[in-house]
Amino acid sequence: MLGALGVAAPAAPEPMPQPVPRFAAVRAAHRPSDVWMLDRQGLPLQRLRLDDTVRRFEWVPLERVSPALQAALLTAEDRRFFTHGGVDWAAAARSAWDKLSGMALGSRQGGVARGASTLSMQLAALLVPTLQPHTGGRRDLGQKWDQAQAAWAIESQWSKAEIFEAYLNLVPLRGEAVGLSAASAVWFGKRPEGLDLAEAALLAALIRQPQASPQRVGQRACAIVAALDAQTLAAAARPRCSDLHDLARTVLTRPHGGGAPIALAPHAARVLRGELGAMASVWDAPPGRVPGAGALRSTLDANLQGFVQERLGLHLRELSGRNVEDGAVLVLDNASGEVLAWVGSSGDLSDAAAVDGVLALRQAGSTLKPFLYGLALDRQWLTAASLIDDSPVALTAENGVYVPQNYDRHFRGWVSARTALASSLNIPAVRVLLATGTDRFFESLKGMGFGTLTERADHYGLALSLGGADIRLLDLANAYRMLANQGVYTPVAPLRLGAPHSQARRRVMGAGAAFIVGDILSDRGARSPTFGLENPLATRVWSAVKTGTSKDMRDNWAVGFTARYTVAVWVGNFSGAPMWNVSGVQGAAPLWRDIVHFLHDHEPSWPPRVPHGVERVPVQFADITEAPRLEWFLAGTAMREVARADVGQNRPHIVYPADGLIVALDPDLPPAIENIPLRMQPVRAGYGWQLERLSAPPCRMATQNPYWSPQPGQWALRLLDTQGQPVDAVRFSVRGARAASAQDPAASGCVAAP
């Protein structure tokens, strides 16, 4: 009969040499499509996809595959696997007879239909590219014979256990899943050893027809369970067909994400994948507590990462109603440059959770000021005790007159550089930039790793001192880490723990200047004029910190360092929408403080050592309100008494508004807060002001109020002495539209000009 069907079986087929690899080589060449991103202690953080074409997990030994899955697979595909020599001649004869009779065995007897290809033959087709089916999904007779020869070759070199194990790991299933390890994790969130009989039958049913409908898969799974012998089912109840159909519909129609829902570091995982490149085939040993992938150990700390992620969400919820939805945090180890926490967004709270705030370009606000003062200190153009004039100034720029303002719209007159930096006063920073030069400051920032400054220095102009440039949180954090390391810059380490990287060190700031800047940023008293003594910047351990707020409150920053860590926080909206009355102290600083306290919960943070060439000298100030103190100086720059130089300034004169100033009214600001300060220098008691509008309708008003609510028009401002005589005058213009109010002096106190 077999001869009549053309499938005669030789008693001892002589295998022909076939290009099949050894089992050890196949197992060694196996590469998962996913790896687990672990933290530095080996705890799972995030599943990391390396191959987007398939879904393949780590190689699973046969002993780690559930008996139910092994039995279901053999029942469905190769019942006599352990007795044939690579080709099942009885199955081949039955398949040929069924084709001739036009009736499938499964439909005739209600059993499970099986083809003639054994597991060994199917494995041969997976290992030898020339044995893949031709177009249309069918093999010709020549390919079938070659496939049989390859199966004999495998059987002569491999054990049955090795063949079965390799097949379980290499068989393609539905969609992109390859291997039963990936399939069990993708659809059931389990390892292969944890599958029950219903799940095993469903996976076995998919092998013959991976893209079949859920109904067809359920029918085949039911037939597989029915074909299992009673001994296999002795320890487990036989699933009902209705349950198998329900399982097929549920599993095969829902979106699947690949198993365990751990996702603590999605943005860092994306960066790590980019770092791997050619190293993507190198893994540590697989973790023991997560299903289905190899593992890569990162520099992150899972406990810190989880805390930061949780605290960011809680803090943003506290700011609900103030138009804040996004945030990002980076924590660096000062000594190694390793990233300990990388949280790129607020996750579910964000409308753009995939955006990575650690790498996004945002305006720097006041966070660049420490580097400006550090440059001036390093060049010995400034000391921490030097006096800087915090009074109104109007500067000519390429695109008009530049009029910097302090955040609180107040001016403090002469202040020390320590107070100016710690209290984040804007006008002194602009004056320091004028002294150092924009080009020098720009080049020093690039040397500190701010690679996003791609325009020329004059593009940023004087606003560079106040954060008028787009930067990344990553670069900003590493620049503050440079201050923590007393002026020595090194790149941030790769996220892959132990990966080789450039550790080139270069000095970008003198150790003395970096030390003094850090000391200023840690000085509660020096920052109190703006922030008060008790604020979120005051930590219970030694720390140095700077906040920043960009134009229109679009960005909040808090960046600083302790003895061991650098912590950088950004809060805002990825859309660029402004926050509603949220300053850096309210937005980023509370989260920054919480992270610092978490890091140093059981670890002290001491002030840095004093570098060589720095001395501490008692200083007294004449004619200003700062109290005597001990101050740090670079060697050779110390002074014991500091007084302002008012040469040529004894006669009171107008310092703001400047002559020729053009003021543009902001239609989005309430008139009550958009005032123009009227400033003289030096201040004299009893002096007053006279404003005269030169354009129609003309008017004149006199006031001693140092703030004026502006009205459109051309204006002349005169400074009047105690006798009412003018001692100085400027002209300026106000543009825009504003309705006069009863409280507006320009409306209520204005009399017709003669």
Q: How confident is the model at residue 686 (pLDDT cuts 50, 70, 90)?
A: confident
- What is the model's pLDDT at position 371? 98
Among residues 324, 342, 322, the alpha carbon closest in space to that of 332 is found at 342
- 94, pLDDT greater than 70: no
More confident residue, 557 or 176: 557
- Residue 80 amino acid letter: R
Among residues 495, 673, 588, the alpha carbon closest in space to that of 45 is found at 495
Alpha carbon distances (Å) from 308 to 36, 74, 323, 527, 549? 21, 49, 21, 26, 21
Q: How confident is the model at residue 650 (pLDDT cuts 50, 70, 90)?
A: low
Alpha carbon distances (Å) from 228 to 222, 424, 481? 10, 78, 65
- What is the model's pLDDT at position 485? 98
Q: Are 566 and 341 in contact (CB under 8 A)?
A: no
| DSSP string for residues in 210-271 | TT--HHHHHHHHHHHHHHS-TTTTTTSPPPPHHHHHHHHHHHHHS----S---BS-HHHHHH
Among residues 605, 609, 443, 599, the alpha carbon closest in space to that of 514 is found at 609
- Rounded Cα distance between 483 and 476, Å, is 11
Domains of the chain by residue range: 59-253, 328-614, 656-748
More confident residue, 497 or 697: 497
CA 504 to chain centre: 25
- Rounded Cα distance between 185 and 557, Å, is 41
Whole-number mean pLDDT of the chain?
84
Dmax over Cα atoms in the chain, in whole Å? Answer: 132
Other beta carbons within 10 angstroms of residue 405's beta carbon come to 13
Q: How confident is the model at residue 462 (pLDDT cuts 50, 70, 90)?
A: confident
CA 511 to chain centre: 31
**What is 59-253's CATH number?**
1.10.3810.10
Pseudo-torsion of CA 616, 620, 626, 628, nearest 10°? 60
Residue in the structure block whose two tokens are 């053009």: 662
Q: How confident is the model at residue 509 (pLDDT cuts 50, 70, 90)?
A: very high
- Rounded Cα distance between 284 and 655, Å, is 67
More confident residue, 345 or 1: 345
Considering just the CA atoms, what is the radius of gyration of the chain in Å? 38
Q: Which two tokens stand for residue 338?
A: 């390793």
103-143 residue pLDDT tens = 443 444 445 555 568 898 899 889 987 777 765 556 667 77
297-326 residue pLDDT tens = 999 999 999 999 999 999 999 998 899 999
- Rounded Cα distance between 258 and 185, Å, is 6
Contacts of 683 (CB under 8 A, 6+ apart): 413, 652
More confident residue, 279 or 491: 491
- What is the model's pLDDT at position 677? 85
Percent of the chain predicted with pLDDT > 70: 83
- What is the model's pLDDT at position 752? 58
Determine the Cα angle at 602 with ends 600 and 605, to 5°: 45
For 328-614, which CATH class?
Answer: alpha beta
- What is the model's pLDDT at position 716? 85
600-629 residue pLDDT tens = 999 999 999 999 999 999 999 987 779 999
Alpha carbon distances (Å) from 41 to 284, 287, 496? 12, 11, 13
Does an H or E element contain 24, and which?
helix 23-29
**Share in percent of the chain as helix, strand, coil (round to 5):** 35, 20, 45
Q: Which CATH code, of 2.20.28, 3.40.190, 2.60.40, 1.25.40, is assigned to 656-748?
A: 2.60.40
Q: Name the β-bridge partners of 48.
A: 35
Among residues 423, 443, 331, the alpha carbon closest in space to that of 370 is found at 423
- Rounded Cα distance between 504 and 490, Å, is 6
531-557 residue pLDDT tens = 887 788 999 999 999 999 988 889 999
Q: Give the per-residue SS3 of 478-520.
A: HHHHHHHCCCEECCCCCCECCCCCCCCCEECCCHHHHHHHHHH
Highest mean pLDDT: which of 289-293, 429-433, 556-560? Answer: 556-560
Q: Which two tokens stand for residue 692?
A: 């005269």
Q: Which two tokens stand for residue 236?
A: 């487990």
- Rounded Cα distance between 379 and 66, Å, is 72
Average pLDDT over residues 505-532: 95
Determine the Cα angle at 570 with ends 566 and 572, to 5°: 175
More confident residue, 738 or 28: 28
Work out the burial of residue 49: count CB atoms within 10 Å of its CB; fewer than 13 is exposed, 13-18 middle, 19 or more buried: middle
More confident residue, 296 or 512: 512
Average pLDDT over residues 150-159: 90
pTM value is: 0.75
Contacts of 659 (CB under 8 A, 6+ apart): 730, 731, 732
